Structure 1
């Protein structure tokens, strides 16, 4: 069950098995099948894992700049690559470790407007709404934060004045986009710190969050030929189909490549994985929709500051880990409360299941996505560690009372969200051959990525039909994985018998030990109904499942008075080969791995000690961080 070796470079080993080995090895010095004696020779597959953030806002985004964020893209890049900067509230801040890659995703709608609003440009001051927001934003503090929320709500309901909603054709819009491109190019340092040109397409229909982060593979020579697509008619559209058409046109026009990553859907009120076309009066989805979504959106944001989106306890009542940092109050601007029927259209696991169902009808799976994690910070500061959390907005940078605010209210004045419910946000891990735009983008495109809730846990996940128990003990783990199977994000290879999975996780070297590895399976029964099951496949501390099949908790070493924890429980690494005991080749299914850490202090615990304050009674103080691999898929065989 457990791996008995400490391995970092194993995770980087890969298979590149030349078919001409016999010809170059006449003396038979190589091993079986003509492989080189060195397991690291002739490698041609992803050899390294890189950690970064795919969703970052600076003071150029209206809701960030309006709320007091003054850090701009160059500041954010400096911080992400490891420099110390001064935060928006004047505090010195630095990451424990630099990120490997990074992208700024400021909003495409109203690009360039916020600096004009704050600065009181003549065209803004000539507009009643412009004068209002100029006054509120310049007041700073709580007033500015509430005004930023008002601006988001006005945009969500289509009530922003055209004078404030800059669109392509506005000189300020083009100027800001050109500078976004220039700053990304300025900080791109292949091999050390990779930056991407990107933006957020902010579809927000009646407050329902359908945002996408649009990421370009290339540099300014291609991205500089266009300006971002917006959501405001007649130039833009909130309909994802129109975004995909724009992306196709971009590739045809420039010869470049682009992909989009949907924002986590827990604030979409069921629209993210809807079974109908919400932009066509609820018409049934068609094959063209499914093909386009699968092509242009190979990834999905599983976790970020605004809650975790992997699973929901109402949808997964038998999953003891499903209720993790759950946000289910309503849509983005709290204009509509959540109802239970909305939940299946919002979470990773239910979305993957709906994808299987739609594939059985349409012949194409529109929700065939890999997983990433991100911050969605609006401070310009990606700070995913609980002891270094700088909040979602400038108003929630470290302060004695940042955890006790009413963050959002419903129309009747009741509380929708408290500020202590924000979480530290996640990271994206990508297996790639090098730390470059092309290699990392290609890894994302093929879905060889995974999400973490912040820690830099290393995860390998392979599927096939040839894995044996001893494969989990190999030092050349990835060589075995790529030779005998396929990596996360791929379709399981055809073959006889139940699939087997080789899974391995190594803890963050600066983080907590691991509690367990689980494999999550979802499938369709003979009636097309969705089912799921979570299997504990590797765990620490020689625990034994009970009579009910449940694994006992790992324990808890957290001392909230410090706060701190000890790695006297859990394991530094876990891994195994697992074969599906409930295999049915006639049932379509997906599989992904979930890695759980031992309990550690949450950011609220650090605030309580550092500021000497009492946290609200309902504030969580302890967390169990985790990682989610991209899935693999089996398509039902036909008789």
Structure 2
């Protein structure tokens, strides 16, 4: 195993040792290349950071919770400007983002701002007047009004006249969509900052979160030829097949391109990754799996409302499975979670189930890449623990926010301190443009982190060797000899596939504990399995006979909300071959990069406000990155 910085030191030492030159080293590392290794380089060479799930005050729930910020505010903030939050706080990102998709809920966009202002048409409706008066009172009354509107929305009981006034085709809605697309075009600067146009299709029947974020590759000229798909009757639909039809119509009618990203599934109560029947009453049949595979190439594996990679019930042998787990029930906590729901909610189990569905139906509907996003409803894309502005305006930094539930019902509560300061998405692309960012997402050359900006490369092939890592730029060998994350392994050309993975710590973040490769496979009897392999790690620890490692240690200073990088590694890398490979078994592999322990956001609240952290709140965690998988098919 090659690990840590010593991996790369040997090539540097050889190149500087003029007494013992290696004239063949260049040609072995860059075969057939000119002296400059970057001449004619065509593969994606930059990682660009952003997210695909952010709400402004135009979203009905965000606005009613007090968000008064719009799209211009969100773009300015993402680009690195300091702005004033809806709660009146000065806020700025530690580092600007490279790109952003604002995805306001497509249903009833703009109603919240009219409720805030007490617009005449709102006050003329008894229910609208009730919501407006509640918002005007503020405090608990405003919160109750917001939840009442959300409940009416989930139960499809919003008064029909209000739905009509804030639906596609209405003057209010069409003007808003025009403004949204124009603003995105105005803030889109190719090579500097990318503003992709999108929206969130908000399917949430009975509180089961089945949302999808729709991303367009194109500018406003094409986006304005359509209006978003909604879910409220009579024009809307909660059936994903209708969303796929909308996406097809968009491409057919505009010549543009679009895709959808499945929302984090941990609040879907088993409906996001169905195996037999869909919630909309359809069947998981040949048509469903083909359309889902075509239109949903990505999955939101981590965000504010919890981490969705796996669950300790599903992965009892995975010591890192219980990370930011939020598994109490559905979105409004009107139905509690049952264990049998979990396999249809989490990424790893869905990837495994996809192998089985492919065998029976011919297409794998869950062959997705990984993305991270915030799902923040503040218009502030903050995934930094020390700079976390919460899920909604009511959860912006304050001395008491750790004590306020995110959701509360007769069945219990999702506590505010349980929310995660997560996540971001890294995209490997040649340039920072709409086309390059979208194309990288479509080919799944993208990955998720829980917030840190960890550069990660992951390649699969059949003949990678340790020699391929004797360079500061091993991606040359990765693309020449194999395929990147999000791809299928080429036809078998060896006894076992080999994988090259390397990661660098976030330049201003924590050191790395380890790199793991997660494997899922289906045997010849149709049974699925999983295994997590430690493949590279820091601090010269020794694995036991089963491959398990002792913990990396813990340098967290809770009093100062700090840690020291005196443990861990600044970089880790290895070439790993699957020791349990069976050429008859379908399989997937993805890399998981784990940081050393660091403080959670609640510790920073205690430091700055003197907040009393509730018993049961986690204070320390190990942040991570998840690459998109690489698949093997016999």
Shift of 1:6: 9.3
- In 2, the alpha carbon distance for the partners of 1:401 and 1:415 equals 20
Q: Give me the whole-angstrom Cα distance separating, in 1, the residues matched to 2:391 and 2:611.
A: 20
1:219 equivalent in structure 2: 219
Task: Go from structure 1 to structure 2 and tell me whether the alpha carbon gap of 1:118 and 1:163 turns closer, same or farther (over 3 Å shift).
Answer: farther
Q: Which residue of 2 aligns with 1:566?
A: 564
Displacement of 1:476: 2.5
Partner of 1:87: 85
| Aligned equivalent of 1:324 | 323
Partner of 1:598: 596
Q: Distance in 2 between matches of 1:475 and 1:328?
A: 42
Q: Answer yes or no: is 1:389 the counterpart of 2:388.
A: yes
Instruction: State yes or no: 1:508 paired with 2:506.
Output: yes
**Distance of 1:33 and 1:569 partners within structure 2:** 37
1:609 to 599, 607, 623: 607
> What secondary structure is seen at the aligned counterpart in 2 of 1:522?
strand
Please report how far the alpha carbon of residue 34 of structure 1 lies from its aligned counterpart in structure 2 after TM superposition: 3.1
Local SS of the residue matching 2:350: helix
Task: After TM superposition, give the deviation of residue 40 of structure 1 in Å.
Answer: 1.4
Give CA deviations for 1:531-574 in whole Å, capped at 9, x if unaligned.
10000000000001134431000000000000100000000000
The Cα shift of 1:37 comes to: 2.8
Q: 1:563 to 1:225 in 2, by over 3 A?
A: same
TM-score by length of 2: 0.94
Residue in 1 that maps onto 2:581: 583
Q: Distance in 2 between matches of 1:547 and 1:467?
A: 25
Equivalent residues, number: 613
Query: How well do the aligned residues superpose, as a CA RMSD in angstroms?
Result: 1.6
Change (3 A) 1:177 1:625: same
Given the two structures, how large is their TM-score scaled by the length of structure 1? 0.94
Matched, 1:430 2:427: yes
The whole-number CA distance in structure 2 between the counterparts of 1:143 and 1:346 is 34
Matches of 1:464 and 1:583, distance apart in 2: 13
Answer yes or no: is the 8 Å Cα contact 2:74–2:379 preserved in 1. yes
Matched ranges for 1:436-455 at <5 A: 436-455=433-452
Q: Which of 29, 38, 41 matches 1:40?
A: 38
Which residue of the partner structure matches residue 616 of structure 2?
Answer: 618
Q: How does 1:468-547 map to 2 (within 5 A)?
A: 468-495=465-492, 496-547=494-545
Structure 2 distance, partners of 1:467, 1:417, is 46
Q: Which residue of 2 aligns with 1:370?
A: 369
SS in 1 for 2:160: coil
1:609 counterpart SS class: helix
Q: Offset of 1:123 from its aligned partner?
A: 2.1
Shift of 1:408: 1.9
Q: Report the Cα offset of residue 143 of structure 1.
A: 2.8
CA contact (8 A) 2:5 2:569 kept: no
How far has the Cα of 1:279 moved from its partner? 4.4
Report the Cα distance in structure 2 between the residues aligned to 1:34 and 1:525, rounded to whole angstroms. Answer: 41
Cα distance in 2, alignment partners of residues 631 and 256 from structure 1: 27
**Unmatched segments (≥5 aa) in structure 1:** 11-28
| 1:47 Cα deviation after fit | 1.1
**Contact conserved, 2:4 with 2:538, CA < 8 A, in 1?**
no
Once the two structures are superposed, what CA deviation does each residue of 1:253-278 show, in whole Å capped at 9, x if it has no partner? 00000011111000000001010232
Determine if contact 2:460/2:483 at 8 Å carries over to the other structure.
yes
The C-alpha deviation readout for 1:494-552, integer Å capped at 9, x for no partner, is 11321000000000000000000000000112221111000000000000113443100
Rounded to whole Å, the distance in 2 between the matches of 1:323 and 1:386 is 19
Asked whether 1:287 is paired with 2:286, we answer yes
Q: What is the alpha-carbon distance in structure 1 between the residues aligned to residue 367 and residue 545 of structure 2?
A: 36
Residue 415 of structure 2 corresponds to 418
Counterparts of 1:69 and 1:280, CA distance in 2: 32
Between 199-208 and 136-145, the greater mean CA deviation after superposition: 136-145
Q: Displacement, 1:5?
A: 6.3
Structure-2 change in CA distance of 1:483 and 1:125 (3 Å): same
Are 2:244 and 1:247 aligned?
A: no
Structure 2: gaps spanning 5 or more residues: 12-25
Distance 1:255 1:574 in 2: 43
- Check the 8 A contact 1:309/1:348 in 2, yes or no: yes
Describe the SS at the equivalent of 1:200: strand
Question: How far apart in 2 are the matches of 1:549 and 1:576?
Answer: 15
- Alpha-carbon distance, 1:613 to partner: 2.4
Bigger mean CA deviation after superposition, 53-62 or 605-614: 605-614
CA contact (8 A) 2:357 2:363 kept: yes
* Separation in structure 2 between the aligned mates of residue 582 and residue 49 of structure 1, nearest angstrom: 32
Shift of 1:147: 2.4
Q: 1:614 to 1:573 in 2, by over 3 A?
A: same
Is the contact between residue 30 and residue 37 of structure 1 (CA under 8 Å) also seen in structure 2?
no
Structure 2 counterpart SS, 1:480: helix
Q: Is residue 118 of structure 2 the alignment partner of residue 120 of structure 1?
A: yes
Pairing 1:351–2:350 present: yes
Q: Which residue of 2 aligns with 1:458?
A: 455
